Structure 1
Amino acid sequence: MSKKDKTTGEEFENFMSFAINYKVKPKKPNIKQVVKRVRKELEEIAKELNLPIENIEVVKEWCRQGGRFDDELFVNLIAPLYRPTPKYKIVWNEEAKQHVAILDNQ
Protein backbone atom coordinates (compact mmCIF):
# COMPACT_ATOMS: atom_id res chain seq x y z
CA MET A 1 0.00 0.00 0.00
CA SER A 2 1.52 3.31 -1.01
CA LYS A 3 1.38 6.44 1.11
CA LYS A 4 -1.53 7.71 -0.96
CA ASP A 5 -3.46 4.50 -0.30
CA LYS A 6 -3.32 4.85 3.51
CA THR A 7 -6.57 5.51 5.24
CA THR A 8 -6.99 8.29 7.78
CA GLY A 9 -7.19 5.65 10.50
CA GLU A 10 -3.88 4.13 9.44
CA GLU A 11 -2.22 7.55 9.38
CA PHE A 12 -3.57 8.23 12.88
CA GLU A 13 -2.28 4.88 14.13
CA ASN A 14 1.16 5.68 12.69
CA PHE A 15 1.15 9.06 14.41
CA MET A 16 0.05 7.55 17.73
CA SER A 17 2.82 4.93 17.50
CA PHE A 18 5.33 7.72 16.96
CA ALA A 19 3.91 9.79 19.84
CA ILE A 20 3.98 6.84 22.24
CA ASN A 21 7.49 5.73 21.25
CA TYR A 22 8.94 9.24 21.54
CA LYS A 23 6.69 10.42 24.36
CA VAL A 24 5.67 13.58 22.55
CA LYS A 25 4.22 15.95 25.12
CA PRO A 26 3.03 19.48 24.64
CA LYS A 27 5.54 21.94 26.05
CA LYS A 28 4.26 23.40 29.30
CA PRO A 29 4.89 27.14 29.54
CA ASN A 30 7.16 28.37 32.30
CA ILE A 31 5.03 29.49 35.29
CA LYS A 32 7.10 32.66 35.71
CA GLN A 33 6.32 33.67 32.12
CA VAL A 34 2.63 32.87 32.61
CA VAL A 35 2.48 34.89 35.84
CA LYS A 36 4.18 37.83 34.14
CA ARG A 37 1.78 37.72 31.17
CA VAL A 38 -1.38 37.36 33.28
CA ARG A 39 -0.28 40.09 35.70
CA LYS A 40 0.20 42.43 32.72
CA GLU A 41 -3.31 41.56 31.48
CA LEU A 42 -4.72 42.22 34.97
CA GLU A 43 -2.85 45.55 35.15
CA GLU A 44 -4.35 46.62 31.82
CA ILE A 45 -7.86 45.74 32.98
CA ALA A 46 -7.30 47.53 36.30
CA LYS A 47 -6.22 50.63 34.38
CA GLU A 48 -9.31 50.44 32.13
CA LEU A 49 -11.59 50.06 35.17
CA ASN A 50 -9.66 52.73 37.10
CA LEU A 51 -9.23 50.31 40.01
CA PRO A 52 -6.20 48.97 41.86
CA ILE A 53 -5.04 45.59 40.57
CA GLU A 54 -5.91 44.04 43.96
CA ASN A 55 -9.62 44.82 43.52
CA ILE A 56 -11.55 41.57 42.99
CA GLU A 57 -13.54 43.18 40.16
CA VAL A 58 -10.35 43.18 38.07
CA VAL A 59 -9.95 39.39 38.11
CA LYS A 60 -13.71 38.95 37.59
CA GLU A 61 -13.51 41.10 34.45
CA TRP A 62 -10.43 39.19 33.29
CA CYS A 63 -12.40 35.95 33.61
CA ARG A 64 -15.37 37.47 31.75
CA GLN A 65 -12.96 38.32 28.93
CA GLY A 66 -11.88 34.69 28.68
CA GLY A 67 -9.11 34.53 31.28
CA ARG A 68 -8.70 31.16 32.97
CA PHE A 69 -6.33 29.95 35.63
CA ASP A 70 -5.14 26.58 36.83
CA ASP A 71 -4.00 25.58 40.30
CA GLU A 72 -0.41 26.67 39.71
CA LEU A 73 -1.41 30.15 38.55
CA PHE A 74 -3.84 30.41 41.48
CA VAL A 75 -1.05 29.68 43.98
CA ASN A 76 1.53 31.94 42.31
CA LEU A 77 -0.59 34.97 41.37
CA ILE A 78 -4.33 34.95 41.95
CA ALA A 79 -4.38 34.03 45.64
CA PRO A 80 -1.54 36.38 46.63
CA LEU A 81 -3.26 39.28 44.84
CA TYR A 82 -6.87 38.68 45.83
CA ARG A 83 -6.62 36.58 49.00
CA PRO A 84 -3.41 37.86 50.62
CA THR A 85 -1.80 36.66 53.82
CA PRO A 86 -2.11 37.03 56.77
CA LYS A 87 -5.90 37.27 56.42
CA TYR A 88 -6.03 34.20 54.16
CA LYS A 89 -3.96 31.07 53.84
CA ILE A 90 -3.64 28.75 50.87
CA VAL A 91 -4.39 25.10 51.61
CA TRP A 92 -4.80 21.95 49.55
CA ASN A 93 -8.42 20.81 49.21
CA GLU A 94 -8.33 17.05 48.70
CA GLU A 95 -11.96 16.85 47.56
CA ALA A 96 -11.51 19.53 44.88
CA LYS A 97 -7.94 18.37 44.10
CA GLN A 98 -6.71 21.96 44.08
CA HIS A 99 -5.53 24.72 46.37
CA VAL A 100 -8.05 27.08 47.94
CA ALA A 101 -7.72 30.26 49.96
CA ILE A 102 -9.43 30.19 53.35
CA LEU A 103 -9.68 32.70 56.15
CA ASP A 104 -6.81 32.24 58.58
CA ASN A 105 -8.46 32.14 62.03
CA GLN A 106 -5.40 32.02 64.22
Structure 2
Amino acid sequence: MPENESKTGSGRAQPPDRLLYTVRAEDSPLTRGLAKLLTSKLNGKNPEEVLAVDGEELVEHFGLAHSLTPQRTNGFVSMIRHMQRQADEKRRERQRLLRGRKKRLS
Protein backbone atom coordinates (compact mmCIF):
# COMPACT_ATOMS: atom_id res chain seq x y z
CA MET A 1 0.00 0.00 0.00
CA PRO A 2 1.45 3.41 -0.90
CA GLU A 3 2.58 5.48 2.08
CA ASN A 4 0.14 8.26 1.24
CA GLU A 5 -2.87 5.99 1.77
CA SER A 6 -4.38 4.76 5.00
CA LYS A 7 -6.10 1.46 5.57
CA THR A 8 -9.77 1.54 6.50
CA GLY A 9 -11.58 -0.90 8.77
CA SER A 10 -12.77 -2.72 5.66
CA GLY A 11 -9.19 -3.31 4.59
CA ARG A 12 -9.50 -0.97 1.62
CA ALA A 13 -6.94 1.74 0.99
CA GLN A 14 -8.22 5.27 1.48
CA PRO A 15 -6.50 8.02 -0.58
CA PRO A 16 -5.21 10.84 1.66
CA ASP A 17 -7.42 13.50 0.07
CA ARG A 18 -10.60 11.51 0.70
CA LEU A 19 -12.54 11.51 3.95
CA LEU A 20 -13.66 8.53 6.00
CA TYR A 21 -16.31 8.87 8.68
CA THR A 22 -17.30 6.28 11.26
CA VAL A 23 -20.39 5.70 13.40
CA ARG A 24 -20.04 5.28 17.16
CA ALA A 25 -21.70 2.23 18.69
CA GLU A 26 -22.73 4.11 21.84
CA ASP A 27 -25.06 6.44 19.94
CA SER A 28 -28.80 5.70 19.95
CA PRO A 29 -30.12 3.46 17.15
CA LEU A 30 -31.78 6.41 15.41
CA THR A 31 -28.65 8.53 15.64
CA ARG A 32 -26.55 5.64 14.32
CA GLY A 33 -28.98 5.19 11.43
CA LEU A 34 -28.86 8.87 10.53
CA ALA A 35 -25.08 8.86 10.78
CA LYS A 36 -24.92 5.81 8.50
CA LEU A 37 -27.02 7.66 5.94
CA LEU A 38 -24.50 10.47 6.02
CA THR A 39 -21.47 8.22 5.86
CA SER A 40 -22.97 6.39 2.89
CA LYS A 41 -23.28 9.72 1.11
CA LEU A 42 -20.03 11.41 2.24
CA ASN A 43 -17.40 8.68 2.71
CA GLY A 44 -14.75 8.72 0.05
CA LYS A 45 -15.50 12.29 -1.01
CA ASN A 46 -12.80 14.90 -1.09
CA PRO A 47 -13.13 17.87 1.29
CA GLU A 48 -14.44 20.19 -1.40
CA GLU A 49 -17.25 17.76 -2.23
CA VAL A 50 -18.22 17.47 1.44
CA LEU A 51 -18.16 21.26 1.85
CA ALA A 52 -20.47 21.62 -1.16
CA VAL A 53 -23.22 19.50 0.43
CA ASP A 54 -26.35 21.45 1.37
CA GLY A 55 -27.77 20.02 4.59
CA GLU A 56 -31.36 20.97 3.85
CA GLU A 57 -31.15 19.41 0.38
CA LEU A 58 -29.78 16.22 1.90
CA VAL A 59 -32.70 16.11 4.35
CA GLU A 60 -35.04 16.30 1.34
CA HIS A 61 -32.95 13.81 -0.66
CA PHE A 62 -33.35 11.17 2.05
CA GLY A 63 -37.01 12.08 2.64
CA LEU A 64 -36.37 12.89 6.29
CA ALA A 65 -38.36 16.12 6.52
CA HIS A 66 -41.62 14.20 6.93
CA SER A 67 -40.18 11.40 9.06
CA LEU A 68 -38.23 13.26 11.74
CA THR A 69 -39.19 15.79 14.35
CA PRO A 70 -37.75 19.27 13.78
CA GLN A 71 -35.32 18.63 16.64
CA ARG A 72 -34.01 15.42 15.01
CA THR A 73 -33.79 17.19 11.65
CA ASN A 74 -31.70 19.93 13.27
CA GLY A 75 -29.48 17.24 14.79
CA PHE A 76 -29.01 15.65 11.37
CA VAL A 77 -28.06 18.99 9.83
CA SER A 78 -25.68 19.55 12.76
CA MET A 79 -24.00 16.22 11.93
CA ILE A 80 -23.50 17.46 8.38
CA ARG A 81 -22.01 20.72 9.63
CA HIS A 82 -19.68 18.79 11.94
CA MET A 83 -18.49 16.67 9.02
CA GLN A 84 -18.02 19.83 6.96
CA ARG A 85 -15.86 21.36 9.71
CA GLN A 86 -13.73 18.21 9.61
CA ALA A 87 -13.55 18.45 5.82
CA ASP A 88 -12.49 22.09 6.04
CA GLU A 89 -9.73 21.17 8.51
CA LYS A 90 -8.54 18.45 6.14
CA ARG A 91 -8.62 20.89 3.20
CA ARG A 92 -6.60 23.48 5.14
CA GLU A 93 -4.10 20.83 6.24
CA ARG A 94 -3.65 19.73 2.63
CA GLN A 95 -3.12 23.36 1.54
CA ARG A 96 -0.47 23.87 4.25
CA LEU A 97 1.34 20.73 3.11
CA LEU A 98 1.25 21.83 -0.52
CA ARG A 99 2.61 25.28 0.38
CA GLY A 100 5.40 23.63 2.37
CA ARG A 101 6.33 21.41 -0.58
CA LYS A 102 6.36 24.38 -2.94
CA LYS A 103 8.68 26.30 -0.59
CA ARG A 104 11.06 23.34 -0.37
CA LEU A 105 11.13 23.03 -4.16
CA SER A 106 11.84 26.72 -4.76
Instruction: Give TM-score scaled by structure 2 length.
Output: 0.32
Structure number, greater radius of gyration: 1
* RCO comparison, higher one (Cα < 8 Å, 6+): 2
Instruction: Give TM-score scaled by structure 1 length.
Output: 0.32
